[in-house]
Structure 1
Amino acid sequence: MSTPPFQDGAGLPIAAVERETGLPKDTLRVWEKRYGFPQPLRDGSGDRLYPAEQVQQLKLIRRLLDAGMRPGKVVGLDGDALQSLLGQRSVAGGDLSRTNDASYAPPAVLAPLLEAIGAHDPHALRHALGRAQLRMGLAPFVTDLVAPLAAAVGEAWVQGRFEVFEEHLFTEVITGVLRNAIASLTPPSGAHAPKVLLTTLPQELHGLGLLMVEALLALESCNCVSLGTQTPVGDVALAAAAHKADVVALSFSNVHNGATVLASLRELRAQLPPATALWVGGSCTALYQSTLDGITPIRHLSGLQPLVVQWRQLRNH
């Protein structure tokens, strides 16, 4: 869907800014109150209009967030300062698919895939990924190709070599490939098949990492229920009860303030039954800085299989 033109030359409405930058509308409003930026104009109806210069700053801020920086360190900086920081940073963030994972793919393997994204050729990208998944098997495909490819796409975004729509192209294609692969697996059954509810909390738009987790859990004969992204805390608890979930798995990126993430997790933990495990991952550094009672952080995709084994062992006792 194309972006609406500037209205009377004043700026973009908030919905268009969300599409342009990948920053949720609620986040933009919170930053406006907390940091005094952005500073939108108002149209005749009182609705926000964001000038082009501010939209460009927000794009740079989003790149820095994806590179692992916190909002408080970058929101409100001018364009030159943001560009300077971008030159100093290497990619460290994104969603759970970019969680300091040790997996690595040689540049020669990633280059044709990145070229297909840059050439805006979804058919070539889908064909190459599908062949790789069949050749490698699902688990190595996720950990050894998709994870480093997601990191490479994120790095291209941070460096300004990819635009938002190109990142979206990659996400849509890989989502289709992974969904087809998951659907081809034999459905899990029995008491040894934990039911895992996967989602993100409000303002968290990143969902690819959750899908990668779902693929790996499906291979471990887990029964996965995905709610997609941006589910309120109370609804996560209600869904966990309705689906009789054994595990709730959430992903967080650096869009969130660390204190807000921890407060939301404590609130959710209090609403879940003690027997329901709560697994969390992503690039939000607050997840790994302190021990959270009843909450298990997952730094790497490789940590999922041992967690499932541990769950089964505890269930058998």
Structure 2
Amino acid sequence: MKVDLSMTDVEVLETSPAMTIGSVERDCGLPKETLRVWERRYGFPNPLRDRNDERLYPAEQVATLRLLRRLVIAGHRPGQVVGLPDEELLVLLAASEASVAQTRDPEVELVLNLLRAHDAVGLRDGLSAMLLGAGLGTFASVTGPKLVAAIGHAWSRGELEIHQEHFFTEQFTTVLRSAINATQVAGLPRADPRVLFGTFPQEPHALGLIMAEAMFALEGCLVISLGVQTPIREIAAAARAHKAHILALSFSSIIPAAQATSGLVELRALLPEQVEIWAGGACAGLRPMPGFQVLNGLSDINPAVSDWRARKHRSGKI
């Protein structure tokens, strides 16, 4: 059904540029579903509507959404910041950035400089050298999160563009994927569990997922990745096809906990009881429930795998 614009909307659209929801998603790095959830739950953003009832976001709302993403990356929960005036958001952001303006880390400085120089070969070589020096486990669980946090903060300060953040993601993923594949074909003994990795359709971020995959690979698990943004029913179908023992799912800080939980409940209903669901990531407020467990960090993977194997050994299934 077509909906005519009100005079107020017409006047705003004539005097100020407006962006579609897809453009806002690309500009701000906030998934469309997150924008809709915030609109419904917190009353912001408050988009205009075009003649086809499609959302249009005025420039001032887009600017506020950029601030909100920076604060969410810094660790603030959406319920604490969405809806606050820009002046308060800027105060919170200044405090958050001051708390991370600590001593300079040479690895962080190297990566940031290479990103600023748009040096693809240098960045790939630098990351490869870090991996060789630290080993896969430390690179995935310590170096990776450190670099991801630093790049997020640099973006939030306006020192990097989103395309540079994406550039880092691709280079880091390439280096880490090569190392994971090497562990799978190096003749090392593989043992259950078989672990399938993925994210829900609303989750475009892959770094947390691949860092977790590296840690599972080091535990001798057979790891199988679906990548990001897979429909829930397709995740369930893949789990059956690959005879997965565990589904490992990652949720970033921009995904509302209620949305993640509802998806996990839906997925649980589609799976055989023996397939376990393990969720993790930076999604604030995600809590374990009957049918799935939550890992609070990469360091939880080793004991969780050991516990899984002990349970299966006691039951005679391993």
Taking structure 2 as the reference length, what is the TM-score of the superposition? Answer: 0.83
Question: Given the superposition, is the C-alpha separation of residues 71 and 144 from structure 1 closer, same or farther in structure 2, using an over 3 Å criterion?
Answer: closer
Return the letter of the residue paired with 1:16: S
Task: Determine if contact 2:194/2:221 at 8 Å carries over to the other structure.
Answer: yes
Question: Equivalent residue of 2:183, what SS?
Answer: coil
Whether 2:131 is the aligned partner of 1:133: answer: yes
Q: Match of 2:23?
A: 16
Indicate which of 91, 107, 113 corresponds to 1:115.
Answer: 113
Task: Determine if contact 2:16/2:59 at 8 Å carries over to the other structure.
Answer: no
- CA distance in 2: counterparts of 1:241 and 1:91, whole angstroms: 48
Question: Given the superposition, is the C-alpha separation of residues 239 and 54 from structure 1 closer, same or farther in structure 2, using an over 3 Å criterion?
Answer: same
1:175, distance to aligned residue in structure 2 (A): 0.9
Whether 2:182 is the aligned partner of 1:184: answer: yes
Q: Match of 1:59?
A: 66
Whether 2:310 is the aligned partner of 1:313: answer: yes
Q: Match of 2:297?
A: 300
Question: Equivalent residue of 2:223, what SS?
Answer: strand
Q: How many residues align?
A: 298
* Structure 1 residues 231-246: aligned runs within 5 Å: 231-246=230-245
- CA distance in 2: counterparts of 1:295 and 1:269, whole angstroms: 8
* Structure 1 residues 134-153: aligned runs within 5 Å: 134-153=132-151
1:176, distance to aligned residue in structure 2 (A): 1.0
* Structure 1 residues 162-311: aligned runs within 5 Å: 162-187=160-185, 192-288=191-287, 291-311=288-308
Deviates more, 1:154-163 or 1:201-210: 154-163
- CA distance in 1: counterparts of 2:184 and 2:159, whole angstroms: 40
Task: Determine if contact 2:193/2:222 at 8 Å carries over to the other structure.
Answer: yes
Deviates more, 1:16-25 or 1:186-195: 186-195
Task: Determine if contact 2:81/2:89 at 8 Å carries over to the other structure.
Answer: yes
Return the letter of the residue paired with 2:309: R
Alpha-carbon displacement from aligned partner over 1:87-117 (angstroms, at most 9, x marks no partner)? 223699xxxxxxxxxxxx9712321112212
Q: Percent identity?
A: 45
- CA distance in 1: counterparts of 2:106 and 2:33, whole angstroms: 40
Q: Match of 2:85?
A: 78
Question: Given the superposition, is the C-alpha separation of residues 271 and 113 from structure 1 closer, same or farther in structure 2, using an over 3 Å criterion?
Answer: same
- CA distance in 2: counterparts of 1:186 and 1:245, whole angstroms: 16
RMSD: 2.7
Deviates more, 1:200-209 or 1:167-176: 200-209
1:218, distance to aligned residue in structure 2 (A): 1.7
Question: Equivalent residue of 1:171, what SS?
Answer: helix
Q: Match of 1:102?
A: none
Return the letter of the residue paired with 1:155: H
- CA distance in 2: counterparts of 1:286 and 1:30, whole angstroms: 15
1:157, distance to aligned residue in structure 2 (A): 2.7
Task: Determine if contact 1:217/1:304 at 8 Å carries over to the other structure.
Answer: yes
- CA distance in 2: counterparts of 1:23 and 1:285, whole angstroms: 16
- CA distance in 2: counterparts of 1:305 and 1:7, whole angstroms: 57
1:191, distance to aligned residue in structure 2 (A): 7.8
**Structure 1 unmatched ranges of 5 or more:** 1-5, 93-104
Point out the structure with max Rg over C-alpha. Answer: 2
Task: Determine if contact 2:189/2:220 at 8 Å carries over to the other structure.
Answer: no
**Structure 2 unmatched ranges of 5 or more:** 1-12
Task: Determine if contact 1:204/1:229 at 8 Å carries over to the other structure.
Answer: yes
Question: Given the superposition, is the C-alpha separation of residues 256 and 141 from structure 1 closer, same or farther in structure 2, using an over 3 Å criterion?
Answer: closer
Question: Equivalent residue of 2:286, what SS?
Answer: helix
Deviates more, 1:159-168 or 1:187-196: 187-196
Task: Determine if contact 1:70/1:255 at 8 Å carries over to the other structure.
Answer: no
Bigger RCO of structures 1 and 2 (CA < 8 A, at least 6 apart)? 1
